[in-house]
Chains A and B, each alone.
Chain A
Amino acid sequence: MSTNTKLNARKLDSTENFYGHKACGGCGESLALRLALKVLGDEAYLSLPAGCMAAVSFIYPNMAFKNNAIITPFASTAAVTTGIAAGLEALGKKKPLSVGFAGDGGTADIGIQSLSGAIDRGEKFIYICTDNEAYMNTGIQKSGLTPFGAATTTTPSGKVIHGNINEKKNMFEIVAAHGIEYAATASVGYLEDFINKVQKAKDCAGPSYIHVYSPCPTGWGHGSEITVDLGKEVVDTGLWYLAEFEKGEFSLNLKPKDFKPVKDHLMRQNRFRHINDEEIKMIETTRDAKWAKMLKNWNI
């Protein structure tokens, strides 16, 4: 498919490459993975660390992937991905496509050094980070990408401290700071935007990184039917943004006219149930500062 035509639901390949997996009902991560594989095709070679997506698809003797896939050590998703890319090239594959899928912990905490090294080597590979803002597979522990105020099992909400006291790590800009060929953020609420970014990553010559925001009904404590709704709302409230990094320039894909109220969005998730108005003010202040910076320095 050429890059000029925009992908949408009708143009997508109708074969499923990720089917019969055991993820929880309404899992945002598996939705992102399923649609990414529709774009990448069954010729892509996948590497997944021991996160949710590996746990739900490689249950012996079940195999939910049509693609060839391997479970990597937790810290080395990107290293294995580039290794496979080198192997495919040595085998003489015409269009070697090696893809790493990791969660937020496997990307921002444990796997960050191998990702940094792989981007530095400049080989062609795609890395997709499905961000559900905590270590969900092991039972909802705080990761580097958990946002301020979210309750997890390691940052519970008590009388004094209300959930996580740290801010979310800015993974997208950390990756972009390497001078990567292509990096983007996406959300499962804006799926057409996401699949077009995957297509762009497939077409680019060097390393590429996509950070996709994917709600987790089990970990966040929301109804399984509102996964896509929350993914859309988080962009409309300004707490997440759709952006791209290409040729050394940041660009913003979507600028909401007015932000939707943050409180209504947060109160739909059980992990934010405890936070008070003062903390919501703090979240709004951080958001406004971030947006002021983005609107000033980034292309719109």
Chain B
Amino acid sequence: MKEFKMSPKPMWNSLGDIPMGSSCPSFHITDINAGWRVFKPVVDLEKCIGCYRCYFVCPDGAIHMSDDKKADVDYSFCKGCGICAHECKPKAISMIKEEK
């Protein structure tokens, strides 16, 4: 995803540092979800036909279509659920085990 706000996580040393009430605006993200993954989707750009299916079915919205109409995965927020690979008709997405 191109436009979202990701602010640095504030450091809290004591209880007094924690603000009262709602302190952040809408769409304020501080953590990424990449650590959840066991398998990660890898798009074969030659096989990708730009059908928008993976972008459509991703529960996290972590796939967007790049300017040349190919699937582009945001690995910071992909949870590796595998719906995109399962739904991809030309089998352009394969799930590959994450290596730490």
Binding site for B on A (CB under 8 A): 9-10, 12, 14-28, 30-31, 34-35, 61-69, 191, 217, 223-229
Contact = CB atoms under 8 A, between A and B. Distances in A.
A140 B63 CA distance: 30
Nearest to B51: A9
B60 A30 contact: yes
A189 B37 CA distance: 24
In the complex, the 7 A-B pairs of residues with the closest C-beta atoms, listed nearest first: A225-B82, A25-B81, A26-B81, A25-B79, A9-B52, A31-B59, A224-B81
Q: How large is the interface on B (under 10, 10 to 19, 20 to 34, 35 or more residues)?
A: 35 or more
Given A62-B28, A228-B87, A19 B61 contact: yes
25 contacts: A9-B53, A12-B56, A14-B64, A14-B65, A16-B1, A16-B61, A19-B27, A19-B61, A20-B29, A20-B31, A23-B60, A25-B59, A31-B59, A35-B56, A61-B9, A61-B10, A61-B30, A63-B24, A63-B25, A63-B29, A66-B27, A224-B83, A225-B81, A225-B86, A227-B83
Contacts of A35: 56
Contacts of B3: 15
Nearest to B55: A9
Given A14-B64, A20-B31, A21-B60, A68 B26 contact: yes
Contact of B23 (A9, A18, A61, A68): A61
Contacts of A225: 81-83, 85-86
Provide the main secondary structure of the chain B interface.
loop
Contacts of A17: 27
Given A19-B77, A24-B79, A228-B83, 6 more contacts: A10-B52, A19-B1, A27-B81, A28-B59, A31-B57, A67-B26
Main secondary structure of the interface of A (DSSP, over half): loop
A229 B86 contact: yes
Contacts of A12: 56
Contacts of B87: 228-229
Nearest to B53: A9
Interface in B40-96: 52-53, 55-61, 64-65, 77, 79-83, 85-87
Nearest to A231: B57
Contact of A22 (B1, B9, B33, B64): B33
B59 A26 contact: yes
Contacts of B24: 61, 63
A69 B26 contact: yes
Given A19-B4, A31-B57, A62 B30 contact: yes
Contacts of B6: 20
Contacts of A19: 1, 4, 27, 29, 60-61, 77
A157 B31 CA distance: 39
Contact of B31 (A10, A62, A191, A224): A62
A16 B31 CA distance: 17
Nearest to B76: A20
Contacts of A10: 52
